[in-house]
């Protein structure tokens, strides 16, 4: 599941770091520091994050381009990390943020159609929520509803 050549490995490294920044930002929104009013900090950080989300998703969509997978034509381990992060964005924020990018929606659909993944997702063995633990400021209950 690693890159087959230096070009694929380089692509995987670039997109992994870009998406890892998104993931790290989600953690900072969910678990703000204990300094000050946690709700106010969460609300401010979340608002700033959402304001820049379209540009970040646009960069991922541009990177993917017309390729089937993030490394190019081959599925790699990076695709599963990126799938999970983008899927979390559909669940934690309004899905319209991701849905603005048809190439990302098609990418998510491709991952969900993979043998094994499709069966797992339809097995009932996985719950879409919660994503974060009980002390998180959002995405921490089964009935969480995104608001922006």
- What 125-134 contacts at long range (C-beta under 8 Å, 24+ apart), as own/partner pairs, is 128/91, 129/91, 131/88, 131/91, 131/92, 132/30, 132/31
When pLDDT is cut at 50, 70 and 90, the band that residue 37 belongs to is confident
Class for the domain spanning 6-121: mainly alpha
Backbone torsions φ then ψ of 29, nearest 5 degrees: -70, -45
- Alpha-carbon distance 98 to 57, whole Å? 7
Res 85: pLDDT: 96
The answer, yes or no, to whether the previous bond of 140 is cis (omega within 30 of 0) is no
- Computed on alpha carbons and rounded to an integer, the radius of gyration of the chain in Å comes to 16
Q: Could you read off the pLDDT of 55-65 as tens digits, one per residue?
A: 999 999 999 99
Task: Specify which residues 69 forms β-bridges with.
Answer: 72
Task: Specify which residues 72 forms β-bridges with.
Answer: 69
Question: Is residue 36 predicted with pLDDT exceeding 80?
Answer: no
Q: What single DSSP character describes residue 74?
A: S
- Alpha-carbon distance 24 to 53, whole Å? 13
Question: Is residue 40 predicted with pLDDT exceeding 90?
Answer: no
Res 88: pLDDT: 95
As to burial, measured by CB atoms within 10 angstroms (0-12 exposed, 13-18 middle, 19+ buried), residue 18 is middle
Q: How many CB atoms lie within 10 A of CB 138?
A: 20
Asked whether the whole model's pTM tops 0.85, one would answer yes
Question: Is residue 98 predicted with pLDDT exceeding 90?
Answer: yes
What's the distance, CA 118 to chain centroid? 18
When pLDDT is cut at 50, 70 and 90, the band that residue 35 belongs to is low
Domain edges within the chain: 6-121
pLDDT, mean of residues 83-97: 95
pLDDT, mean of residues 73-81: 95
């Amino acid at each position: 599941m690693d890159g087959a050549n230096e070009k694929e490995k380089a692509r995987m490294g670039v997109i992994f770091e870009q998406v890892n920044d998104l993931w790290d930002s989600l953690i900072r929104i969910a678990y703000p520091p204990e300094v000050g009013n946690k709700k106010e900090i969460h609300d401010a950080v979340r608002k700033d994050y959402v304001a820049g989300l379209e540009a970040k998703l646009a960069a991922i969509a541009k990177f993917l381009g017309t390729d089937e997978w993030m490394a190019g034509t081959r599925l790699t381990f990076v695709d599963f990390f990126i799938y999970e992060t983008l899927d979390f964005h559909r669940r934690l924020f309004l899905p319209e943020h991701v849905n603005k990018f048809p190439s990302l929606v098609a990418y998510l659909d491709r991952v969900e159609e993979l043998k094994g993944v499709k069966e797992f997702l339809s097995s009932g063995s996985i719950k879409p929520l919660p994503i974060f633990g009980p002390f998180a400021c959002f995405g921490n209950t089964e009935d969480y509803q995104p608001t922006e």
